[in-house]
Chain A
Amino acid sequence: MSQAEVIGSRRSPLWTFGLLRSELTTTFRRWRTLALLGVLAAVPVLVGIAVKIETSDSSSLGGGGGGEGPAFITQITNNGLFLVFTALAATLPFFLPMAIGVVAGDAIAGEANAGTLRYLLVAPAGRTRLLLTKYATTLAFCLAATLVVAVSALTVGALLFPLGDLTTISGTRISFAEGLARALLIALVVAASLIGVAALGLFVSTLTNSGIAAMATTVGLLITVQILDQIPQLHAIQPYFFSHYWLSFADLMREPVYWDDLIRNLGLQALYAIVFGSAAWARFTTKDITA
């Protein structure tokens, strides 16, 4: 047994877990990561305070014009839980993917930049395993970032606004407990929506040895795609943009839930993950590591 352990230690799943754990602690201990999470946590606070001030003279938000600002914003004053949905809708287009872009872009290129990549590869982990660990860490950050936004929004919403039964966007009523469950589900869907960007960022990260270049490219691609998604003439290719179905998470607030776009979104994210994940693997496992 002990002999098997010595020989097999390279391949033991526990070892991979150890690598993942060390990656996770390295990533989440970085000041940069903490600052990103801090900024994300501040967004719901700002939105909540802005809505509170705007409606403090008991006027309704937006003056009845309707439909402006992030989704669900008109409902916040009546139910603080809606701040969770508004905050996610406000951060999903740029803040969240930008944070993911920074972490994913830094994953390989940052190590190469700091000259630590070859030391990582000296450890008997293998490049494929290192890449998988890096991707898992990025996905963990996706989930953490989304949950930070959601929890911060829920806290601010509970402090500033009343809570209680809520009305779905289809006009039916659900209990607060079910509303919370849906909020959690929405947070998970939002986190899953970022899988595509994470894979794209990781692939870009394997292309260069400069962490800054990888981050800038990822965020630049993100902004480009977001802009292209707004141009009506490009409607034929828009369904293939990773960001196209992002706001479909709001469909979870319909009654009954409208699954079509949600499933399309998850399928598209899986496709991006496989295509860019395997491209990253092809690149990283054949790359000359000079730094």
Chain B
Amino acid sequence: MAPYESDDTTAVADADELRAARRRKAARYVVPAAVLGVAAGTIGLVPAIADSGSPDLPEITAQQLIEKIAASDVQQLSGTVKISTDLGLPDLGGLESELMSGATPSGGEGSSADPSAKLTELASGTHTLRVAADGPDKQKLSLLEDAAEYSLIHNGKDVWGYDSASNEVYHGTATEGAEQREGEVPATPQELAEEALKAVDDTTSVTVDGTAQVAGRDAYKLVIEPKQSGSTVGAISVAVDAKTGLPLKFTLTPASGGAAVVDAGFTQISFAKPAASTFDFTPPKGAKVTEEGSVDAPEHSQQPKEEDFAKGLDGLNVIGEGWTSVAVIDSGAEGMPSDAKRGDMGDAGAMGSFLGSLGDEVTGKFGSGTVFKTRLVNALITDDGKVYVGAVTKDALVKAADSGK
């Protein structure tokens, strides 16, 4: 405190001054601390307040609500959708994309703008999508990425896929195929809800569970629960817009509890007609355009694989019904080598033991095999090459395998 120093201050005054100065010092630090506290409080509280709204809406039965969804005829909308998927798959990092590029023709020669390659990305993690629709002929789906975007644009006859990160364009023509392609990965809440409602029968309970506020709109919550035990699906909750009947949010919670496996919902929605320019697309100068047919080239090399897969599908059987149905695929091939056989298989053995380390060894009347678990779908691969897959628990899988013997 150089300016305060002077010769005539006594020791007592000095001590007083020091104490006062120290208090002043401490008091000043209250300002940043208070700002920090207020900010932390606001960040913590605001989402809690925003979520707490459950609007007053007239009572409605589940049947009426489903009819409302079916009768929903929203032609024009634009909005932002957030999809979180947590299948509980082990995070394989780079290996995952490696496998992906092997499984789809996107590796190297193919186009990174190919829709089927891009949309599989939705299967894990959290993604933000934008959807816009104007009648049956114009739709746009954009997957927002870091400083890039993947857009799938359907405008009349044309279907464009544009990957801005690599500046690549995929062009196809829209027939029924276009809708089918979009159907491969149900992305909007409406598609997801329709998928779920297909499964409704006497094995399922459907109830209306109050109301909620989604994307600033009042919505009913439709809860679909399996009545059977043994399913890994806990409940499916669909938030349906009270005015338009459009499903706004889709949540699938596993029976084991914890975070939702799939959580897809609008975070923002508008029913105004989107600007026509939204659906206009001309490939930018210098962009690499892949026509739908020309992707065939790399696909030819994959042909044998696909045939194998088709052969595998021939052996497809379904055991059980409703939620606990288990698909049985008789691949006819040598199955997962269990520990005893692994030793003498070289590379394949190493791969086998790697896969084996991800799964659990089980035995039953059917013999022995390995169970691979995710939070939703479990698969049992027996040593004699049969694959049992279903959204059921491990025990139910073993039971299905036993009954299949």
Q: Is B163 in contact with chain A by the CB < 8 A criterion?
A: yes
Q: Cβ of A66 and Cβ of B2 under 8 Å apart? A: no
Partner of B151, one of A170, A279, A286, A288: A170
Taking the closest CB of chain B, its distance from the CB of A131, in whole angstroms, is: 12
CB distance from A237 to the nearest CB of B (A): 12
Contact indicator A74/B167 (Cβ below 8 Å): yes
Kindly supply a per-residue 1/0 record for chain A positions 75-103, scoring 1 wherever the CB is within 8 Å of any chain B CB and 0 otherwise.
Answer: 10111000000000100000000000000
Q: Are B167 and A255 in contact (CB under 8 A)?
A: no
Assess the A62–B162 pair: CB atoms within 8 A: no
**Docked complex Cα distance between A258 and B144 (Å):** 9
Determine the chain B residues whose CB is within 8 A of the CB of A275 once the complex forms. Answer: 32, 35-36, 39
Residue of A whose beta carbon sits closest to that of B166: A66
Contacts of A271 in B (CB 8 A): 35, 39
The SS class assigned to the B binding surface is mixed
Given the complex, which residues of B lie within 8 Å of A66, measured CB to CB? 112, 163, 165-168
Kindly supply a per-residue 1/0 record for chain B positions 277-305, scoring 1 wherever the CB is within 8 Å of any chain A CB and 0 otherwise.
11011101111100000000000000000
Interface size of A by CB at 8 A reads: 43
Contact B147 A250 (CB under 8 A): yes
Contact with A along B120-138 (1 / 0, CB 8 A): 0000000010100000000
* Alpha-carbon distance A183/B149, docked complex (angstroms): 18
Distance in Å from the Cβ of A199 to the closest Cβ of chain B?
Answer: 10
B153 within 8 A of A: yes
Q: Tell me whether A67 and B285 are in contact (CB under 8 A).
A: no
The reply to whether B35 and A60 form a contact with Cβ atoms under 8 Å apart is no
Bound Cα distance A71, B144 (Å): 13
Q: Which residues does chain B contribute within 8 Å of A34, judged by CB atoms?
A: none
Smallest CB separation, B291 vs chain A (Å) = 15
Segment with Cβ contacts to A, from B22-30, B235-243, B361-369: B22-30
Query: Could you tell me if A71 and B32 are in contact, using CB atoms closer than 8 angstroms?
Result: no
A171 interface neighbour in B24, B28, B153, B165, Cβ under 8 Å = B153
Give the nearest-CB partner of A66 in chain B: B166
B29 touches A170 (CB 8 A): no
| In-complex Cβ contact of B280 among A172, A258, A281 (8 A) | A172
Contact: B165 with A74, CB < 8 Å? yes
Q: A170 CA to B150 CA in the complex, in Å?
A: 7
Least CB separation from B112: chain A residue: A66
Q: Is A282 an interface residue (CB 8 A)?
A: yes
B323 CB–A CB distance under 8 Å: no
A272 to chain B, nearest CB (A): 10
CB distance from B400 to the nearest CB of A (A): 36
Give the A-B pair count, Cβ closer than 8 A: 120
- Contact between A171 and B112, CB atoms less than 8 A apart: no
- Select from chain B the residue with minimum beta-carbon distance to A169: B164
Bound complex: CA A282 to CA B160 (Å)? 57
Are A171's CB and B162's CB within 8 A?
Answer: yes
* Chain B residue contacts of A288, Cβ below 8 A: 1-2
Decide if A180 is an interface residue (CB 8 Å cutoff): no
Q: Chain B: which residue is nearest A203 at the CB level?
A: B32
B141 CB to closest chain A CB (Å) equals: 11
A276 and B147: CB pair below 8 A? Answer: no
A79 to B284, CA, bound (A): 10
Q: Which of B130, B148, B280, B288 makes the CB contact (< 8 A) with A173? A: B280
Q: Does B142 contact A (CB under 8 A)?
A: yes
| Residues of chain A lying within 8 A (CB to CB) of residue B282 | 173
Confirm or deny: B12 has a beta carbon within 8 angstroms of a beta carbon on chain A.
no
Q: Mark A261-291, 1 if CB is under 8 A from B, else 0.
A: 0000000000100111011011001101110
> Shortest beta-carbon distance, A136 to chain B, in Å?
19
- By a CB distance below 8 angstroms, the chain B residues around A274 are 32, 35
Interface 1/0 per residue, A134-166 and B, CB below 8 Å: 000000000000000000000000000010101
List chain A residues, Cβ under 8 A from B70: none
Q: Which residues of B contact A71 (CB under 8 A)?
A: 146-148, 165
Q: Name B28's contact: one of A166, A286, A290 (CB within 8 Å).
A: A286
* Nearest chain A residue, comparing its CB with the CB of B78: A256
- Chain A residues contacting B288 (CB-CB under 8 Å) are 60, 64
B280 touches A278 (CB 8 A): no
Q: Does A89 contact B147, Cβ atoms closer than 8 Å?
A: yes
How far does the alpha carbon of A279 sit from the alpha carbon of B35 in the complex, in Å? 10
B31 within 8 A of A: yes
Residues of B within 8 A of A170 (CB): 130, 142, 149, 151, 164
Q: CB-nearest residue of chain B relative to A255?
A: B278
In the bound complex, residues from chain A placing their C-beta under 8 Å from that of B111 are: 64
Q: Which residues of A contact B345 (CB under 8 A)?
A: none
Q: Is A78 a contact of B284 with CB atoms below 8 Å?
A: yes
A176 at the interface (CB under 8 A from B): no
Which one of A75, A247, A278 contacts B32 once the chains associate, using CB atoms below 8 Å? A278
Q: Is the CB of A279 within 8 A of B280?
A: no
A182 interfacial by beta-carbon distance below 8 Å? no
Q: Min CB distance, A161 to chain B, in Å?
A: 10
A21: interface (CB < 8 Å):
no
Q: Does B313 contact A (CB under 8 A)?
A: no
Residue on A nearest B34 in the bound complex, by CB: A278
Please measure, in the bound complex, the distance between the C-alpha atom of A122 and the C-alpha atom of B149, giving whole angstroms. Answer: 56
In the complex, A290 Cα to B1 Cα: how many Å? 8
* Residues from chain A with Cβ under 8 Å of B278 in the complex: 172, 255
Knowing A74-B165, A170-B149, A254-B144, say if A281 contacts B2 (CB, 8 Å). no
Known contacts A78-B284, A254-B144, A62 near B166 by CB under 8 Å: yes
Tell me, in angstroms, the Cα distance from A258 to B151 when the chains sit together: 14
A167/B29 in contact, CB under 8 A:
no
Q: Does B74 interact with chain A (Cβ within 8 Å)?
A: no
B25 and A167 within 8 A (CB): no
Contact (Cβ within 8 A) A75 B284? yes
CA distance A268 to B35 in the complex (A): 13
Determine whether the beta carbon of A254 is less than 8 Å from that of B277: no
Q: List 10 A-B contacts (CB under 8 A).
A: A66-B166, A74-B166, A74-B167, A171-B149, A171-B162, A247-B147, A274-B32, A275-B32, A281-B28, A286-B28
Q: Which 4 residue pairs spanning A and B have beta carbons closest together?
A: A66-B166, A71-B147, A250-B147, A282-B28
